[in-house]
Structure 1
Amino acid sequence: MSNHCQIDKHEIIKRYKPIDKYTHKGIQGHALIIGGSYGKIGSVVLASKACLKSGCGLVTAFIPKCGYEIVQISVPEVMVITDDFLEHITDINFDLKLQAIGIGIGMGQHPDTQHAFFNFLKMNDLPLVIDADALNILSQNKEWLSILPKKTILTPHLKELERLIGNWDSEVEKFEKVKELSIEHNLVIVIKGAPTLIIDGATVYENTTGNQALATAGSGDVLTGIITSLVAQSYEPIDAAILGVYLHGLTADIAFPEMSYQSFIASDIIATLGEAYLHIIA
């Protein structure tokens, strides 16, 4: 029997951790965002900026060489490491003390990138948030699911979910398949949509914030950055997913009266994160 829980402000306040007044950037977490390919570096700009804006102390982006100047100029607060290759990721190599990694946004599915992703998974034991092309690569190599760290967070939209679990004929069947995947591999699965749902074993959490303004390019990249940030700040993966999804939706609720659904873009989610946090602690 599954449990169903609505994610409302009461649930968020139970999980939210106030920032210690004596904190410094070194103990606010260091996150790495891995992704990007030629023409899709913007995704890393959005995710890494969102990662910082949701409270992470330090953020580094790992990208192909073609994105170096783009990220450095777009988000000066973010540090950058580049792959040796110009247009896509071929070898994920870094020497950093990290608390969390978000991977997959804008990464593409070049065979070199798939190989690099597998080699990364084999050596990685840090908490992971997996999105976009990294999810699509996993869908083609489902045996890799068994080497993911416990409570890895997957953030598929419905099409990516279908690639992961196959077709379903009903909502009941969809949930059963997602729960099986979550239990078998000990994963937290965020199904992006209206509403966004989070599955952790037999428990389903339903988000209550957000509106159609979030149906815009880059919205998912921002969510990946937010959730990765919260994991790096030492939130448990399930709490990071719950708080991240709630904050992400709340930005659209806050901005809507002045912005309309149509003109709200992913950068506006990031710009409104501060107000969203203030709503939580108000």
Structure 2
Amino acid sequence: MKQSISINKNEILKRYKTIDSQTHKGIQGHALIIAGSYGKMGAAVLASKSCLKSGCGLVTVFVSQCGYQILQISNPEVMTLTDESEKYISNITFNIKPQAIAIGPGLGQETETQKAFHNFLMTNTVPLVIDADALNILSSNKEWLQLLKPKTILTPHPKELERLIGKWTSDEDKFDKTIAFSKQYNLVIVMKGAPTHIIDGETVYKNTTGNAALATAGSGDVLTGIITSLVAQSYEPINAAILGVYLHGITADIALPETGYQSFIASDIIKYLGKAFLSLENQ
């Protein structure tokens, strides 16, 4: 029997951890973002910037060669590692020890990228957030789902969800299928939509923040960065997903009087993250 919980401010404050005044960047978490390909490097820029702006101490991005200058110039606070390939990721290797990894935004689905993703999943032990093209690659190779560690976070939009779980006939059917999928593989599913739901086995969390302004290119890349940041800061995956979705939504609620629906873009989510966090601090 599924249990439904509304994600309101009270639920968030039970989970939210204030920053220790004695902290330093070395204990605020190190996140790795594996993202981008030729023509889609903006996804890596947005995900890594939102990751930093959500409190992560260190952020490294792993991109194909063509993304090196883009990342170094657009996000000077982010460290950059490059693949050997020019236009897409073909071999995921790094010598850092991140506390959380995100993979997928702007990744593309080149055959070599798919092989690299598979090899990465075979050896990875770090908490993982999977989004966008990495989800589409998983949908084409469902046997790889067995390789995911417990409580890996998946962040599909409706079409990506359909590729993972199959078509549904009603909202109830969609939830039943997603719950079964979450239980089968022991995953946390961020079911993006209006509203967004987070599914952890039998428990369904319904977000209460956000509005139509969030229906804009890059919005999901920013959400991936926020959630990954929280996992790197040692939040439990389910709490990182719940808090990340809430913060992502509330940026649009705070911004709306200034931007309206039409002119709010994904970069504005990042711009208003400070005010989103302050709305939790001001108790």
TM-score by length of 2: 0.99
CA distance in 1, matches of 2:270, 2:127: 23
CA distance in 2, matches of 1:189, 1:51: 19
Q: Deviations over 1:232-269 (max 9, x none)?
A: 00000000000000000000000000110000000000
Residue in structure 1 matched with residue 263 of structure 2 by the alignment = 263
Structure-to-structure mapping, 1:217-256, within 5 angstroms: 217-256=217-256
CA shift, 1:27, in A, is 0.3
CA shift, 1:35, in A, is 1.1
Q: Deviations over 1:21-49 (max 9, x none)?
A: 11000000000000110000000000000
Residue in structure 1 matched with residue 55 of structure 2 by the alignment = 55
CA shift, 1:153, in A, is 0.2
Q: Counterpart of 1:61 in 2: which secondary structure?
A: strand
Residue in structure 2 matched with residue 85 of structure 1 by the alignment = 85
State the superposition RMSD in angstroms. Answer: 0.4
Residue in structure 2 matched with residue 154 of structure 1 by the alignment = 154
1:165 and 2:165 equivalent? yes
Residue in structure 2 matched with residue 136 of structure 1 by the alignment = 136
Q: Counterpart of 2:262 in 1: which secondary structure?
A: helix
Q: Counterpart of 1:262 in 2: which secondary structure?
A: coil
CA distance in 1, matches of 2:115, 2:191: 26
Residue in structure 1 matched with residue 272 of structure 2 by the alignment = 272
1:121 and 2:121 equivalent? yes
Q: Deviations over 1:133-160 (max 9, x none)?
A: 0000000011111110110000000000
Which of structure 1's runs of 4+ aligned residues deviate more than 4 A? Answer: none
Structure-to-structure mapping, 1:74-113, within 5 angstroms: 74-113=74-113
CA shift, 1:172, in A, is 1.1
The one-letter amino acid paired with 2:169 is: D
CA distance in 2, matches of 1:258, 1:22: 35
CA shift, 1:97, in A, is 1.3
Residue in structure 2 matched with residue 6 of structure 1 by the alignment = 6
Percent identity over paired residues: 70
The one-letter amino acid paired with 1:168 is: W
Residue in structure 1 matched with residue 32 of structure 2 by the alignment = 32
CA shift, 1:107, in A, is 0.3
Where structure 2 has 5 or more consecutive residues not aligned to the other structure, the ranges are none
CA distance in 1, matches of 2:34, 2:16: 26
TM-score by length of 1: 1.00
The one-letter amino acid paired with 2:204 is: V
The one-letter amino acid paired with 1:119 is: N
CA distance in 2, matches of 1:75, 1:88: 20
CA shift, 1:79, in A, is 0.1
Where structure 1 has 5 or more consecutive residues not aligned to the other structure, the ranges are none
CA distance in 1, matches of 2:256, 2:175: 31
The one-letter amino acid paired with 1:58 is: L
Q: Counterpart of 1:240 in 2: which secondary structure?
A: helix
CA distance in 2, matches of 1:94, 1:181: 31
CA distance in 2, matches of 1:183, 1:258: 42
The one-letter amino acid paired with 1:7 is: I
Residue in structure 2 matched with residue 215 of structure 1 by the alignment = 215
